[in-house]
Amino acid sequence: MIWMQQKKNYLSMILTIAALVSIWALVDYLTSGRPPILSGYYKLNIILLCINIILAVSLNLINGFTGQFSIGHAGFMAVGAYLSAVFTQKIMIVETIAAVTGLDPTGDVARTAGLLIAVFIGAMAAAVVGVVIGMPTLRLRGDYLAIATLGMGEIIRGLVLNIEYVGGAAGMSGITQLSSWTTVFILTIISVVVIKNFINSTHGRACISIRENEIAAETMGINTTKYKVLAFSIGAFFAGLAGALHAHYFYTIQPGTFNFLKSFDILVMVVLGGMGSLTGSIIAAILLTFLSAALQDLAALRMVIYALLLILIMIFRPQGLMGNKELSFATFGSLFGKKSSTGGGEQRDGSQSN
Amino acid sequence: MTVLKVTNLTKTFGGLKAVSDVNIEINQGELVGLIGPNGAGKTTIFNLLTGVYEPTVGEVVFLGKNTRNLKPYEVNHLGMARTFQNIRLFNDLTVLDNVKIAYHSHAKHGVVSSILRLPSFVKGEEEMIHKAIDFLKIFKLENKKDEIAKNLPYGEQRRLEIARALAAQPKLLLLDEPAAGMNPNETKELMEMIRWVREKFNLTILLIEHDMSLVMGVCERIYVLDYGQLIAHGKPEEIKNNPKVIEAYLGEEVAHA
Ligand SMILES: Nc1ncnc2c1ncn2[C@@H]1O[C@H](COP(=O)(O)OP(=O)(O)OP(=O)(O)O)[C@@H](O)[C@H]1O
Ligand SMILES: [Mg+2]
C-alpha cells in the first residue's frame, strides 16, 4: 500500500526535486557572478532564510507535533554555534583534516569536510543538552518545560559570557566562512526531510499521539517520556545544526545573538505557520525572514510588529496559516481531483482519567 | 489460569476512600462484569489496574507479574488494554492512525530505519496498515479509515476506541461503559461484537457497565461495587437476587428521584 502511495507521489517527488534544483541553480546564478546580480545583502538574507527554516521546522517537531512547549530554541543554537566555532577556530579541524589527508586546507573539500564535522559535533552537543534538560522536565506535565527551556537559554548565555576561551562578552569573531549557499541549502533540505520522515513514521505518530491525548497514548503502550525526550533532542540537534551554520556564515557570534528574542522569533514562525505543519513553518519562515529584512531600519519596531502579529494570529487564525495540513505538489493535484477534507479546531482535554 | 489477581486494592483521594479493600480474580477467557452505582469506584479500579493511578494499598498481579511501580505503557506491554468512559481518541488524527498508534509497540522498524526509509520501514508500515484495517473491519469502520476521529458519530467513536485497544493485542481487555450513549440497537450490535472478538482473539474481558440488565446478558460472572467496596460477587442470577445489590441500586433510584 505504501508502495502504491509512493508511486502516486512519484510525480510529486520529481516535481519537488526539480523545483529544489531550480531554486539552487537560480540563487547560485544570481549570487555568484562577478559582480553578482544580487548583492551580498540578498544572499545573506537567503542564507538566513534557510537557517530559519531549519529552526522553525525543528521547533515545530517539539511544540507543534509533540505538543510540548519549548521557548528556548536559541539556547540550542548557541550550543551548536559556539561548539562548532571552537572546533574550526581553536581546534583547527580544517587544517587537521588537510594535514592528515594531504588535502589543500584552503580547498573546498577540506573546508566542507571540516564544516560538516564541526556542524555535526555542534548539533550532537545540542542534542545532548536537550536530553539533559528534557529527561527531568518532560516527565512532568504542564509548563515546566517552558520554564526550564527559558532558564536554559539564559544559563547558556551566561556561561559563554563568562568563558574567556570563547571570547566572553565580545564573542568569537573572524570565524572562517565555511558555510556556502550550497552546503546551507543541502543541509536545510536534509533537515526538513529527516524531520518529515520521522513524523511520517510510527515513531512520529507516537509523538503526535502525546499531543492528542497523553493519557490515551500512555495506556496504548507509548512510552511518552521517551518520545517526548526523543522529539525534544531531535529538535535540539537541528537547532544546534542551524546555530553552527549561522556561526560559519556570519563571521561573528556573541552571547546576545542567541537571546530570548531569537527564541521568540522562531516561536512566532511556528505559530504563524501552524503547529503541526512543516510546510506551514517553511512558509512562515520565508514570510518572516523577508518581513524582518524589510524592517531592518526599524529594528525597534520589529518586536512590536512581531508581538502584534502574534496577537492577530491568535485572534483571527489560532491554528496558523496551515493548521496541521501540509502542502505538496500532490495536494495541488488532489485539489482538482477531489474536495479537500475539512480541518481546523483544536481539542485539548483535561487531565481527569475517566 | 489466573489472568488477573487483585488483592486488598485500596485507593484514597484525600479523605475519600474511592476503592476500599477490593479483591478480584479473573481467569483466562472469562467475560466478567464490574457494576455499581454512580461514583462506586469502577473507573478508579480501571485506573489502578492500568497504572494510571498508584494503589494506596494492595497488589495487582497480572499474568503472574506484580504491576506495582509499572507505568501505564509497561502495563500495556504486558498485555492489558482499555477504553475510556469519556472517550479519549486521538481526535485530530484519522481513524486509521488512531488504530496504528496502538500497534506501535509491536512495530519492528526503528527510528533510523524510518528516517532513511529503509526497506524494513516500508515493510513495517505496510504491515501496520494491514493490521489496522483488519481491526477496523471487525468494527465496521473500514470505510471511515480516512476520516478525522472527532468527526465520527458517537457510537462509532466508541467502536473505534475498542478497535484501537484491540490493536495493542492485549490478553486482558478492559471496557469502561462501552455502550454508554448508544441506542438499544447499537448496544445489541456492540455486545455481539464483543463476544465475537473474545472468541476470535482468545481474550479475557472485564467490562464496566452502569446498566445492570445489560451486563446480565453477556457476563458470566459479576462483581458489584458500592461506595468503593465489593458488596457482592457471583453469577448473574445470584447477583440479580442479592438483597445488598438490590438495596444499592434501589438507594440510587431513590437518590435520583
Ligand atoms: N482523580 C480523582 N481525584 C479525586 N477524587 C476522585 C478522582 N477520581 C475519582 N474520584 C472519586 O472517586 C469516586 C469514585 O469515582 P469513579 O469515577 O471511580 O466512579 P465510577 O464507579 O466509575 O462512577 P460512574 O458510574 O459515574 O462512572 C468518586 O467519588 C469520584 O469523585
Ligand atoms: Mg466510571
Q: B187-192 long-range contacts, Cβ below 8 Å, gap at least 24? A: B187/B214, B190/B155, B190/B158, B190/B159, B191/B217, B191/B218
pLDDT over 90, % of chain A: 52
Alpha carbon A157 to chain centroid, angstroms: 19
H or E segment to which residue B23 belongs? strand B16-27
pLDDT tier at A3 (50, 70, 90 boundaries)? low
pLDDT of residue A347: 35
pLDDT of residue B247: 84
Q: Ligand 1: does its nearest atom lie under 6 Å from the Cβ of B17? A: no
CA nearest to A235, candidates A81, A354, A345, A74? A74
Question: In this complex, do B100 and A202 lie within 8 Å of one another by their Cβ atoms?
Answer: yes
Which residues in chain A have their CB less than 8 angstroms from residue B126's CB?
1-3
CA nearest to A191, candidates A123, A283, A270? A123
Of A211-220, A253-262, A300-309, A338-347, least confident by mean pLDDT is: A338-347
CA A140 to CA A161: how far, in whole Å?
A: 31
Sole residue written with cell 448496544: B187
Please, are residues A178 and A112 in contact by the beta-carbon 8 Å criterion? yes
Sole residue written with cell 511544540: A63
The amino acid occupying position A62 is: I
CA nearest to A76, candidates A188, A232, A190, A243? A243
Mean pLDDT of the A28-34 span: 85
- Strands B204-209, B2-13: pairing is unpaired
pLDDT of residue A197: 96
Closest residue by Cα to atom 6, ligand 1, is B13
CA B188 to CA A303: how far, in whole Å?
A: 61
How many other CB atoms sit within 10 Å of the CB of residue A271? 26
> Which triple of cell numbers denotes residue A14?
520529481
Of A302-311, A323-332, B119-128, B229-238, least confident by mean pLDDT is: A323-332
The amino acid occupying position A81 is: A
CA nearest to A292, candidates A321, A260, A264? A264
Strand order of the β-sheet with B2-13 is B16-27, B2-13, B57-62, B65-66
Spell out the residues 6+ positions from residue B124 whose beta carbon is closer than 8 angstroms to its own: A202, B107, B108, B109, B113
CA B173 to CA B109: how far, in whole Å?
A: 26
For residues B50 and A141, the model is more confident at B50
Mean pLDDT of the A263-291 span: 94
* ipTM of the predicted assembly exceeds 0.90: yes
Q: Ligand 1: does its nearest atom lie under 6 Å from the Cβ of B85? A: yes
CA A61 to CA A190: how far, in whole Å?
A: 15
pLDDT of residue B3: 95
Please, are residues A77 and A250 in contact by the beta-carbon 8 Å criterion? no
How many whole angstroms from B43 Cα to the centroid of ligand 1? Answer: 7
Which residues in chain B have their CB less than 8 angstroms from residue A213's CB?
88-91
How many other CB atoms sit within 10 Å of the CB of residue B127? 17
From the alpha carbon of B53, which atom of ligand 1 is closest? 1
Residues of chain B short of pLDDT 50, as ranges, are 257
CA nearest to A118, candidates A76, A75, A86? A86
Please, are residues A283 and A321 in contact by the beta-carbon 8 Å criterion? yes
CA A203 to CA A199: how far, in whole Å?
A: 7
Residue in chain A nearest B79 by alpha carbon: A221
Question: A142: phi > 0 → left, psi -120 to 50 → alpha, else beta; which?
Answer: left
A351 and B CB contact within 8 Å: no
Q: Ligand 1: does its nearest atom lie under 6 Å from the Cβ of B20? A: no
> Which triple of cell numbers denotes residue A245?
551554520
pLDDT at A344 over 80: no
Mean pLDDT of the A197-201 span: 96
